[in-house]
Structure formats: C-alpha cells, structure tokens
Structure 1
Amino acid sequence: MHSWDDKQPLYRQLANRLAGGLLDGDPPEGEAMPSVRVLAAQYLLNPITVGRALQALNDEGLLDNRRGVGLYVRPGAREQLRRSARERFLRDEWPQLRQRLRRLGIAADELDWEE
C-alpha cells in the first residue's frame, strides 16, 4: 500500500515517485513508461491523477510522447534528474543536515558512506 500526504497534490507526489524510479533506472532510458491503467491500478489512484503525473514528467522534458504508442523515457532523463536533485539537495537539505550533524557532534569520519 502506498501512503500519501496532504502537503502536495497527489499527481505531484506520484510524479515525484515516478521520477525517483527514473533516477534509479526504472524504466531505463528509451523504454516505455507503464500505461496509465497499470499505474492507476498499482498506486490505487484515479487514471486522471496518473495522467496528470505523467504529463508533469513530460512537461519537465523527461518523457517523449510517441503518438499512438505511449510515453517513453527520454535519453538523458536520468542525468537531468540527478542534476536537479543534487542542486535541490545542496541548496535545501544539506545546510540543515550539516547544522544537525554539528549540533549532535557527529564528525565526518564517524559517518559510514558505504551503507
């Protein structure tokens, strides 16, 4: 079961989850995205919500709409996602995380980067 929150519209939350999958290579670049029906059943969402999520990813330049065939992951989508996620992390999350580490007295050599 998938949990959703009230902080963002459902379509945006789904778009973020799907983008996370794309970042992990699922589906790989050049391959088709699952259909609206498949995603609606998988996430227990209205097909209109799923369609909006896919449209958002398409609008962000991550997908190619091949008329009559479906949506495919664009070449370079993974790197585009990685770049934007890195920028967001370094701008929004890292400063807060660094401050918390300092407060807790956790030094860089105490962190295990391999897990």
Structure 2
Amino acid sequence: MFDDRSPIYQQIAERIKNDILGGELAEDDQVMSTNQYAAFYRINPATAAKGFHQLIEEGVLYKKRGIGMFVSKGAQEALRAQRRQRFFEEVVDAMVTEARIVGISLDEVVQRIQEQQRSDR
C-alpha cells in the first residue's frame, strides 16, 4: 500500500498520476473524494487532501465546486512529458556518465539497449 520512502500525500499523488498515465483515469473522469480515498486506504483525510491539493496545483486535477475533483484536459500528455524528462535526467544522463567513466562507448550502450529490446519481444 504505502511505504516509508516518501510522505503518504506524495505517494497518493503519484498513485493518481500513474492511474492517469496508465489510462485507468481519463480526461474529465471524476476521482474519489478525499474522504472516500481516506476511508478506502485508512489514512487521515487531511493527508489525502494534501495529495489532492498538490495535484490541483500541478494542474493534473481540477475541482468542480460541490461536485468533486476531475482529471484535467491534457493531464496524461503533460505527465508523460514530465516522466520522459525525468527519465532522461535520472536514467539516461546517469547511464551515459557512468559508461564514459568505465570506458563503454556510446555505440556499445546503444547496441546493448537494442539487444535488450529484441529479447523483450
């Protein structure tokens, strides 16, 4: 359910982002209320609200007064763009730096990635 690596409200936000990225939640879909979320996961409603508030501030969710919260238009593409950027910064850039340090050419890295892709099919 939740782990100790990051605050629960951040894990809530990430879980909802993953649902949007995975297509479980689409644009204009209503998400559970903070109280429903808190009851379902047995957490403090204020903690759930903090996670939802973060998503509203990021533009991932929007609120309809008196109705609830919904997935914003373009949220999936915006999240995908953020994740791509993070992937390149955290994974690819670090891999290229490490490869350079240990003497692996960029061609070797690309070849290995292509081999891995073929074996995954």
**Which TM-score tier does this pair reach, normalised by the shorter chain?**
0.7 to 0.9
- The aligned counterpart of 1:85 is 83
Cα offsets for 1:13-41 (capped at 9, x unmatched): 21111111111122211110111122113
Aligned to 2:117, the other structure's residue is in SS state coil
One-letter amino acid matched to 2:32: P
Pairing of 1:30-69 with structure 2 (within 5 A): 30-69=28-67
Q: CA deviation at 1:67?
A: 0.3
In structure 2, relative to structure 1, the CA distance for the partners of 1:83 and 1:60 (3 Å cut) is same
Unaligned runs of 5+ residues in structure 1 are none
Q: Which has the larger radius of gyration?
A: 2
Q: What TM-score do you get using the length of structure 1 for normalisation? A: 0.82
Contact 2:26–2:71 under 8 Å retained in 1: yes
Aligned to 2:69, the other structure's residue is in SS state strand
- The aligned counterpart of 2:2 is 3
Q: CA deviation at 1:97?
A: 4.5
Cα offsets for 1:59-88 (capped at 9, x unmatched): 001111100001110110000000011101
Match of 2:114 among 109, 112, 115: 109
Q: What TM-score do you get using the length of structure 2 for normalisation? A: 0.78
Higher normalized helix content (fraction of residues): 2
Aligned to 1:111, the other structure's residue is in SS state helix
Contact 2:2–2:8 under 8 Å retained in 1: no
Moved more, 64-73 or 16-25: 16-25
Alignment RMSD, CA only?
A: 2.4
One-letter amino acid matched to 2:114: D
- The aligned counterpart of 2:71 is 73
Unaligned runs of 5+ residues in structure 2 are 103-107
Identity %: 30
Q: What is the number of equivalent residue pairs in this alignment?
A: 112
